[in-house]
Chain A
Amino acid sequence: MKICKFLSVLFISLYFFTLPSNFVMALPGPVLPYNLRWNITDIQYYLVGSAVNYATPIDAASKNWWRPFGPGSNNLHPNTRTYDQQQSAIDYYTYSDIYHNANAYTKFILNPNKLEVSPFLSDWSFGRVFMNIPYMNSAQGPGFTLLQSQQAIVAHEQGHVFGLNENNLTPYSIMTQSAYGRSVYTVQQTDNDAFNMKHP
């Protein structure tokens, strides 16, 4: 009887001891307080000017966010390139600023311009991603090729347009900022969970 008691306490303890760590691992990453208004099942992107030079990593990052099947699938569709800027939810631009310590940044635009357009104050209609050419061309994630490192930068900015915030508590999220040692170049479970929280 004593053994039975001991085992029951042990099993219950072990169950709850292992549960929290799994629970933490599966937590969705942080999200922005407001939302992208564009229909998530009709997302396309547009390349402005010399952004076409990064068409390959942009395409790879876009496909990487797309999870149409299986457990944890999302509603993102088709996330491909359009040649009509009025039809795109994400516009890619480039800039060249060796003084700015950033790979890229995203601006949030609301159409029409009736409200403030900060992701902390209002929804946004679409996003503009600005890629910093000198940093894009020398991007070097841990053990990644140049293309993989560029893909990581693009996927990170796409995440912002979709409504995800920085996730600097772990290096294993695409939403981790480079300065915090982002160690992945693909969308992780925590990122996809955050995406699904935003776009159920």
Chain B
Amino acid sequence: MKKSLISGFVLCLVLLSGCAEVQKLPASSPSSAETAPSMTASSLFFAEDPQQKLILATTADYVLMTPQQVSSKADLVVLGQFVKNLGSWVEENGRVYTKGLVRVMGILKGELREREIEVVFNGGVVPLSDYLRSLDEASVKKMGILPQDITDGDTVFDHFGPYQANPALNQPYLFLLNAMEKENTWFLGSDALSMLSVKDEQYFDKLTKSWNPVRDLFQP
């Protein structure tokens, strides 16, 4: 009887440990997990700034997230690199955008005549005063920000949490872009998920944290 109880106990331990393993699995488990690409902080568009008064993080309900989803809906997929930060600005209700100049090194999907394109994306750093001007009076009052709290040089970093695009200058990326109305201007529709690090014909999938062949992007 003792033996059978012990064996039952051992069996249940095995089952429970198996259950714990299942819970640890990520949404889509990486087949070949490797370290994420490293970037030099000084070359990033948005680095830490002691005068940053506010950091407003965002969580978004994306309709397209996986590289395959994003690439299938992209108007243009190019290999390129940001060569210049063209600046950030704020639109109504505190929505911040940033524009950069991208030098195109290769086209994988779509058509393009120019070798340099302008790419716009969500988030960025703007003066706090500009940010507050974009809000209505009641919204500013609710934030509890008083004019005497603001000093010259105070900034706001509006960012999309873990999916904020924060490109490093002169680093190669695969850009999955949506065409904007303005000619030669494109948008990172799924934020950082539309901008994939690349090396040796492979791209880095931020969701699974794995390197995968670029050709897989275009498989149905």
Contact = CB atoms under 8 A, between A and B. Distances in A.
Interface of A: 4-6, 8-9, 12-13, 15-17, 20-21, 23-24, 27, 48, 85-86, 91, 93, 95, 99-109, 111-113, 116-121, 126, 128, 130, 135, 153, 156-157, 160, 165-166, 168-169, 177-180
Contacts of A100: 122, 187, 189
A150 to B, nearest CB: 12
B56 interface: yes
B54 A179 contact: no
Contacts of A93: 93
26 contacts: A12-B5, A12-B12, A24-B22, A27-B23, A85-B139, A100-B187, A101-B190, A101-B194, A103-B63, A104-B60, A106-B58, A107-B56, A109-B143, A112-B144, A113-B53, A113-B54, A113-B145, A116-B54, A117-B57, A118-B159, A119-B57, A128-B139, A135-B63, A153-B61, A156-B61, A179-B66
B114 interface: no
A20 B23 CA distance: 11
B117 interface: no
B57 A105 contact: no
A131 to B, nearest CB: 10
A20 B14 CA distance: 11
What range describes how many residues of B lie at the interface? 35 or more
B16 A16 contact: yes
Given A16-B12, A99-B187, A105 B58 contact: yes
A108 to B, nearest CB: 6
B19 A106 contact: no
B161 interface: yes
A95 B15 contact: no
Contact of A9 (B8, B15, B94, B141): B8
A173 to B, nearest CB: 12
Interface string B40-74: 00000000000001111111111111100110010
A8 B22 contact: no
A95 B7 CA distance: 61
Contacts of B62: 101-103, 177-179
B210 to A, nearest CB: 16
In this complex, which of A16, A121, A160 has the most chain B Cβ atoms within 10 angstroms of its Cβ?
Answer: A16
Contacts of A121: 55, 57
B178 interface: yes
Contacts of B11: 9, 12-13, 16
A177 B61 contact: yes
A102 B122 CA distance: 11
A53 to B, nearest CB: 15
B28 to A, nearest CB: 9
Contacts of A160: 59
